[in-house]
Amino acid sequence: MTAPLRLGIAGLGTVGAGVVRILKTHPDLIATRAGRPIEITAVSARSRDKDRGVSLAGFAWEDDPVKLATRDDVDLYIELMGGSDGPAKASVEAAIAAGKDVVTANKAMLALHGQELAEAAEARDHVIRFEAAVAGGIPVVKALTEGLAGNEITRVMGVMNGTCNYILTRMESAGLPYDEVFAEAEALGYLEADPTLDVGGIDAGHKLSLLASIAYGTKVNFGAMDLEGIERISIEDIRQAADMGYRIKLLGVAQMTGRGLEQRMSPCLVPATSPLGQLEGGTNMVVLEGDAVGQIVLRGAGAGAGPTASAVMADVIDIARGTRLSTFGQPATALRPARGAEASVSAPYYLRMALVDKPGALAKIAAVLGDAGISIDRMRQYGHDEPTAPVLIVTHKTTKTALDEAIAAMGKTGVLSGDPVAIRIEEV
Amino acid sequence: MTAPLRLGIAGLGTVGAGVVRILKTHPDLIATRAGRPIEITAVSARSRDKDRGVSLAGFAWEDDPVKLATRDDVDLYIELMGGSDGPAKASVEAAIAAGKDVVTANKAMLALHGQELAEAAEARDHVIRFEAAVAGGIPVVKALTEGLAGNEITRVMGVMNGTCNYILTRMESAGLPYDEVFAEAEALGYLEADPTLDVGGIDAGHKLSLLASIAYGTKVNFGAMDLEGIERISIEDIRQAADMGYRIKLLGVAQMTGRGLEQRMSPCLVPATSPLGQLEGGTNMVVLEGDAVGQIVLRGAGAGAGPTASAVMADVIDIARGTRLSTFGQPATALRPARGAEASVSAPYYLRMALVDKPGALAKIAAVLGDAGISIDRMRQYGHDEPTAPVLIVTHKTTKTALDEAIAAMGKTGVLSGDPVAIRIEEV
């Protein structure tokens, strides 16, 4: 048996404590699989005295994660503090400069600084791995980087924020409006300190931008993502979607098109009977499509101590075994700039609007769609007691550009009451 | 860029031709990901002149796969001929002796000789990888060996024979009996030359035995598997199961119990709303459960040129990248003997039987179950025109041993017409 791999762990929240627990529970199993013992030599966190349910006895303590990252008795630095900048980034940079490998669960840091960090690490022949940053326990970074490496990737899709999926499925099952379920989720501690990270789609968007980089060999370009959260999804839309056989999911989609890389994180309708449509609660799902493999669906817990620590350990054991991969599956210097593309992949859309109750109102809307070259698949007008008539339209495939133009033109007809709701229907 | 990795491919059927096609379609993409070019230098197959839809120009030809496997200009030998012994095994042995790495899709060979082959390869620091042997394009060997390496695996389940799943779902959707759908599948070319390999559960059993070895660190022990095919599944059972919210799947389950390794490949009832229950047609699904990660579900095409070649390429690119793993995730010499266990994990069971139409018949059956300590969850007796009464029972959890004893005792009551059908209900 060769020399132990010595870990320094910064951040002892849920995930960090989970990693400590795994290493204390299964040292022999892991040593047998890794081919060498894996030991924690030093740790760092905000408070030394907090009860984390695991003993830290025998580990050296550092108040400063940068010091931890550069210790001589640390071979592999594990960053589990979070935050795109600050101590997380400073300590990872220090670890790289000191010649350490790095494992991190930090999607925000990598989405914003991944290129720079990967280049620095690879220039020194060191690796940064981040399985835990995307979709919790699901080994999706590995599946995409390694398992599907023989494929030209044609589409990456994912429901990768458990909180949003919890809110959307709970709205449907309990028939509750967004605000009430949001408050429930907040009370249950499901939301980030800044809830916009969750419900604004930012957290899931960070994850998608990392997968897109691996899939298409492009530099991470989170800034070019078309980002829309779930804040404006109404119980009405959830009901109408269900009635037509769909469910609304905060769905990430990354596709390489003739015009560049299209990355969207936005609410979409998906068939209720599809694997994505059937996803309940906090579970995550990633769908990978390649020209040879067809469609691969991966499903599992997207958060939590055990699942996320399991992903951290996968990276740690890879490194212990001697597996050396580029951060994004090919040398960072070989990644191409990701030219952001407007949403150019056409799709059917769901439209809901309220029309003033005048003869010919519906005909005007239909005419606007026709003029924009958008044909109607299904249309429903509901009986109503209000002075406005609820109307639901499912279009055939169209582009976002054509749809936006049609919606602008609808506004000028004078028959709309309020703005129409438009949600993409993703074919899965 | 470092030296090319030079492949010798034996077997140019669907999968072999698929591998050639991938390498011809994406040489640059693959070289960038692998960090070096990957080239085919020589090939071998039964007929040199057959049209495979891909050109073999530029590849050396060998009639004898053993010669191919030992060529000086081959670094990595890819065995895609199939067959547990014969040329497949001989050529893999020759490749190992000649110091080559090996990639194979041959589940039968590994299920029967994997231990011996892995020991031989590892003694020479060479690797045998077999992603393509299990569940086609789904990167499940990788997910289990690497992605979940930090977990004690608690259960492995899988629907891993697309032909059986096609037959079972087609029986249900078309309302056709087994024999008719079997004939359809045969006409469509879905069945192996020896159909027992498919419908007898042997092919899927081979795959399960390989996953069990990785999961539990035990020597492959296909011989100890509890094996039952789908030949005796009637349309009646499929209908009754559906009526109670279940579907029948040929399900593999591997679990380590206090008594040893339990490996079963047999028809099971699973909830119709579960991911396994919803699996249609030829698609495969593997469910991996670990103490940290919880449940991970992987779904994708289980066969076909593209998906299986994608899996072969994953292994090839791993090797090109320098990833060196033990065949079963830890040194073959460290694998423990897999003590086979009788099915000791208890489960609810579905029972269908025909009772002679006599007063007290049902009471006698209920008494037999009660005597065996088996309690009844649900029972239905149907109206009927025949002289026998169809009866359906769902038990609470019981062991296979207790159930077998109860069924034997039922036979002695004189109220049964024919043998009862008993199918395990797996909690998923």
Eight-class DSSP state of A360: T
pLDDT in tens, A408-428: 999 999 999 999 999 999 998
Judge: A149–B313 Cβ closer than 8 Å, yes or no.
yes
Residue A211 Cα, gap to closest chain B Cα (Å): 15
% of chain B exceeding 90 in pLDDT: 91
d(CA B165, CA B278): 11
Could you tell me if A416 and A408 are in contact, meaning their C-beta atoms sit under 8 angstroms apart? no
% of chain A exceeding 70 in pLDDT: 99
Instruction: Tell me which residues of chain B, numbers 156 to 195, contact chain A at a CB-CB cutoff of 8 Å.
Output: none
d(CA A173, CA B280): 26
Kindly state the greatest CA–CA separation across chain B: 84
pLDDT mean over B336-358: 87
ipTM of the modeled complex: 0.96
The pLDDT of residue A192: 86
% of chain A exceeding 90 in pLDDT: 91
pLDDT in tens, B252-281: 999 999 889 999 999 999 999 999 999 999
d(CA A29, CA A317): 11
Q: Among A11-25, A215-229, A385-399, name the one with the lowest average pLDDT.
A: A385-399
d(CA A216, CA A261): 8
Q: Is residue B160 classed as helix, strand or coil in its secondary structure?
A: coil
The pLDDT of residue B1: 53
| Mean pLDDT (chain A, rounded) | 95
Instruction: Tell me which residues of chain A, numbers 233 to 272, contact chain B at a CB-CB cutoff of 8 Å.
Output: none
Could you tell me if B215 and B119 are in contact, meaning their C-beta atoms sit under 8 angstroms apart? no
Residue B328 Cα, gap to closest chain A Cα (Å): 9
Judge: B151–A330 Cβ closer than 8 Å, yes or no.
no
pLDDT in tens, B158-214: 999 999 999 999 999 999 999 999 999 999 988 888 999 999 999 999 999 999 999
Any idea of the CA torsion for A408, A409, A410, A413, to the nearest 10 degrees? 130
Could you tell me if A248 and A152 are in contact, meaning their C-beta atoms sit under 8 angstroms apart? no
Residue B329 Cα, gap to closest chain A Cα (Å): 6
Would you list the DSSP string of A409-421?
HHHTSS-EEEEEE
Q: Which two tokens stand for residue B367?
A: 């008494």
Residue A1 has pLDDT above 60, yes or no: no
d(CA B425, CA B394): 9
Chain A residue with the nearest C-alpha to that of B34: A330
How open is the CA angle B320-B321-B322, to the nearest 5 degrees? 90
The pLDDT of residue B205: 98
Could you tell me if B105 and B80 are in contact, meaning their C-beta atoms sit under 8 angstroms apart? yes
Chain A residue with the nearest C-alpha to that of B298: A298
First to last CA, chain A: 47
Q: How confident is the model at residue B56 (pLDDT cuts 50, 70, 90)?
A: very high
Could you tell me if A243 and A146 are in contact, meaning their C-beta atoms sit under 8 angstroms apart? no
The DSSP H or E segment spanning A227 is strand A226-227
| Options A142, A207, A219, A249, the catalytic residue | A207
Could you tell me if B111 and B210 are in contact, meaning their C-beta atoms sit under 8 angstroms apart? yes
| Mean pLDDT (chain B, rounded) | 95
Q: How confident is the model at residue B343 (pLDDT cuts 50, 70, 90)?
A: low
Work out whether strand B294-301 and strand B283-290 pair parallel, antiparallel, or are unpaired.
Answer: antiparallel
pLDDT in tens, A227-268: 999 999 999 999 999 999 999 999 999 999 988 999 999 999
Q: Which two tokens stand for residue B417?
A: 């017409």
Could you tell me if B263 and B221 are in contact, meaning their C-beta atoms sit under 8 angstroms apart? yes
Indicate if the alpha-carbon torsion angle A52, A56, A61, A62 is positive or negative: negative
Backbone angles phi, psi at B348, to 5 degrees: -70, 155
pTM of the model: 0.96
Cβ count within 10 A of residue A245: 11
Chain A residue with the nearest C-alpha to that of B30: A150
| Options B100, B207, B219, B400, the catalytic residue | B207
Judge: A32–B150 Cβ closer than 8 Å, yes or no.
no
Number of H helices, E strands in chain B: 14, 16
Write the Ramachandran bin of A95: left for phi over 0, alpha for psi from -120 to 50, otherwise beta: alpha
The pLDDT of residue B247: 97
Q: Among A60-69, B7-16, B356-365, name the one with the lowest average pLDDT.
A: B356-365
CA B272 to chain centre: 21
d(CA A65, CA B404): 61
Could you tell me if A211 and A146 are in contact, meaning their C-beta atoms sit under 8 angstroms apart? no
Cβ count within 10 A of residue B121: 25
B207 is an active site residue: yes
Work out whether strand B5-10 and strand A388-395 pair parallel, antiparallel, or are unpaired.
Answer: unpaired
Enumerate the β-bridge partners of residue B60: B42
Output B88 or B193, whichever has higher pLDDT: B88
pLDDT mean over A96-114: 98
d(CA A269, CA A287): 15
d(CA B118, CA B210): 12
% of chain B exceeding 70 in pLDDT: 99
* Residues in chain B within 8 Å Cβ distance of A152: 25-26, 29
* Residues in chain A within 8 Å Cβ distance of B278: 273, 275, 278
Q: Is residue B166 classed as helix, strand or coil in its secondary structure?
A: helix
Provide Rg for chain A, Cα atoms: 24
Instruction: Tell me which residues of chain A, numbers 323 to 362, contact chain B at a CB-CB cutoff of 8 Å.
Output: 323-326, 329-331, 334
For an interface test with B, which of A9, A33, A140 has the most B Cβ atoms less than 10 Å from its Cβ?
A33
The pLDDT of residue B147: 98
Nearest to B127 by CA among B336, B333, B337, B315: B315
pLDDT in tens, B104-144: 999 999 999 999 999 999 999 999 999 999 999 999 999 99
The pLDDT of residue B2: 84
Cβ count within 10 A of residue A414: 10
Q: How many CB pairs under 8 A join A and B?
A: 199
Nearest to B133 by CA among B110, B94, B111, B106: B106
